[in-house]
Structure 1
């Protein structure tokens, strides 16, 4: 039934139809994960296209930009085949952007990212009733693991537990890597990163702080879904963490993010 989803294995340039099939394949793979009634919580399926000017028309054609309901109907047929019971008012949103947003689901075959926005459940991430666990798998911190509950305020990550900023104010690092415990910990900034709970999307997001962005120490995420690496280059844009993601601090410390309960 889904033969049309097979990937184009030739070296020929993609046409609009082949591109559409690849986009639908990406969507299909994510919708398959919405079992157990999660499909009924879908609020919007958001597509972010970052194609160059020379490819823009092909993406617009593939997504039926002149008749957006036509592409939505194709997505709905996929959902119906999996009996996902999407809500009647779910929306398809397409945006053309210069950079894909953090946390967008992507692959190497199409120049777009996908976000499933849910009303009260975020697929692949967390729910309001789940705790998360951050386990230290590299580096030396005060604890081997940290349990954080949804709704928790800002959770700072950095070197040492209490540090003084340039303005004289003090910062408390909930997840603290001890500066005198391991030589490599000195590469972790005192103000490296932090987690915040997003009340609307019901998920934890990772933000790099002043000491965790270029040109200084780095903050990266090894994405569990495809083992790619996402770099945080701005203190303003958060990355939505999903189960199995690994937070990498200055290439010397690693925290694994998992769902606990």
Structure 2
């Protein structure tokens, strides 16, 4: 959690201008974790505000409620400074709520939270594809894994079953046992995961806590232009296309493959 007010906790509350600067700083800190490739995946920046009635007017003033595009322009300047290459149709959404949703990015001292919403690509044929992950480099429990559209999250990491700091267990559906190959020790137990995006009808790759800096690395090499991108945030998912390669800690490579499955109807997954 960010705290922009450590030096000012004993001082008077911020005015609208100071509040705007604090909210923009929260957005800046969040966007700064993305590289250009991740920026292209961003669909919307969602800001949630849970200020009480006595503070609501100040938040509305800070966020230019009467001119919402004005606040978006300030955010766009931040993105441009980091060369994030946000898509032209990205949205800045401000929501006033009674309670902040779970999982938002928060900052100490302000009653607001942030969600970075990523975009996906619609399938062009209307035929949902099955996905396969083939182990090109490294030693996993299997040489190839099959993933069905609409399936639950598939975790990737070292060892099949690992225990987190909170005592709960994580099951890695794609596991790289340490005893199988010495270099597997560089892969995090909680490295990355795949999810089926129902709205966008595609598979997406997310880095987990162990797969982002300063820990182990997660990269993706796009088949379309052979560009290489490092995942710096757990918030943004990459849409996977046929032939893309997932690189784990520079010691394991998985190739993502799609095959058309005409027995699957796209509408069944979207309803």
TM-score band w.r.t. shorter chain: 0.5 to 0.7
Q: Secondary structure at the match of 1:167?
A: coil
Where does 1:177-216 land on structure 2 (aligned, <5 Å)?
177-216=176-215
Superposition CA RMSD, Å: 2.7
For 2:133 and 2:120, the matched residues in 1 are separated by 24
For 1:210 and 1:132, the matched residues in 2 are separated by 24
Unaligned runs of 5+ in 1: 1-45, 49-94, 103-114
Q: Secondary structure at the match of 2:180?
A: coil
For 2:179 and 2:255, the matched residues in 1 are separated by 23
Where does 1:75-114 land on structure 2 (aligned, <5 Å)?
96=76, 97-98=79-80, 99-100=84-85
For 2:142 and 2:214, the matched residues in 1 are separated by 29
Question: Residue 162 and residue 127 in structure 1: after superposition, are their counterparts in 2 closer, same or farther (change >3 A)?
Answer: farther
TM-score (norm 1): 0.54
Question: Residue 117 and residue 190 in structure 1: after superposition, are their counterparts in 2 closer, same or farther (change >3 A)?
Answer: closer
- Residue in 2 aligned with 1:152? 151
- Residue in 2 aligned with 1:250? 249
* Paired residues, number: 154
User: Which stretches of structure 1, 4 residues or more, deviate above 3 A after TM superposition?
Assistant: 95-98, 115-118
For 1:160 and 1:116, the matched residues in 2 are separated by 31
Question: Residue 146 and residue 47 in structure 1: after superposition, are their counterparts in 2 closer, same or farther (change >3 A)?
Answer: closer
Cα deviation 1:154-183 (Å, max 9, x = unaligned): 000000100001111100000001111101
- Residue in 1 aligned with 2:95? none
> 1:260 offset after TM fit, Å?
2.2
**Contact persistence 1:127–1:203 (CA under 8 A):** no
- Residue in 2 aligned with 1:88? none
Unaligned runs of 5+ in 2: 1-40, 44-74, 88-117, 261-271
Q: Secondary structure at the match of 1:196?
A: strand
- Residue in 2 aligned with 1:237? 236
TM-score (norm 2): 0.53
For 1:240 and 1:117, the matched residues in 2 are separated by 6
For 1:158 and 1:192, the matched residues in 2 are separated by 5
Q: Secondary structure at the match of 2:132?
A: strand
Where does 1:15-54 land on structure 2 (aligned, <5 Å)?
none
**Contact persistence 2:128–2:201 (CA under 8 A):** no
